[in-house]
Structure 1
């Protein structure tokens, strides 16, 4: 009978349950390993794709660790600058839309009031009311005053 080798069972890479580590020593060791892994992945992303990367991590002992390619300061400054530009752009766009809606609303109100006023003048016998008319050289939503 031939000799059969039995492979010993090894741990290898096994899945672990993700939960808070209670043992302080194990927690600090895991933090260090995972922090280094995070920085390694960020460096790979920078080297392979040219992405600007910044990582800011606070340890369980409240110590701050930073990593950045090309530098943390340049990435954070870029982020803050672009956030500010987006906010300003949204504010400007919102104001323009609001003004446009207000102008359109007021123009529509002028048309309605002009029609109502014309009808009341007709009822009183004053004929057609042409005080406010749309001039051909202005857009239809802009009303200009003309003479009788």
Structure 2
């Protein structure tokens, strides 16, 4: 070792799907972040609009858009002839996925709100019961 390095350094990765599920998820996350960073740099350096949609191995959807993914997709739709079915299917899938995600968030927020309302009602009852108990105790002592 002439230069004093002890490790192997960066190794070339064979381009095939990874077998280890844990490594695959980690690699996906890192590569996705790197891809989004490159897209952001591309937008800044070249002044272009970009839209990226990525489906993870676990079927989650990740998107990046500059200035906004919906704006870029709508701009794309307006320039694509309507007979291009694959493009329209992609765009419809994106819209449906976004709508589905928003509906899931709304359901979760409504459930949280209902739980908080129940907790508030229980606290109100507890406060009333405490006041009644305390009031009775004061009358006994007075």
Alignment partners' CA distance in 1, 2:59 and 2:38:
23
The reply to whether residue 35 of structure 1 matches residue 35 of structure 2 is no
Pairing 1:47-58 to 2, within 5 Å after superposition: 47-58=44-55
TM-superposed deviation, 1:84:
2.7
Alignment partners' CA distance in 1, 2:3 and 2:69:
52
| Consecutive aligned runs of 4 or more in structure 1 exceeding 3 Å deviation | none
Aligned residues: 84
Going by fraction, where is helix more abundant, 1 or 2?
A: 2
TM-superposed deviation, 1:38:
0.6
Q: Please list the CA deviations of residues 28-47 of structure 1 after superposition, one character each: whole Å capped at 9, or x if unmatched.
A: 00000000011001000100
The reply to whether residue 11 of structure 1 matches residue 15 of structure 2 is no
TM-superposed deviation, 1:9:
3.9
Query: 2:75 maps to which residue?
Result: 78
Structure 1: tracts of 5 or more residues without a match: 88-148
TM-superposed deviation, 1:69:
0.5
Structure 2: tracts of 5 or more residues without a match: 85-142
TM-score normalised to structure 2 length: 0.54
Pair member with larger Rg:
1
RMSD across aligned positions (CA): 2.3
TM-score normalised to structure 1 length: 0.52
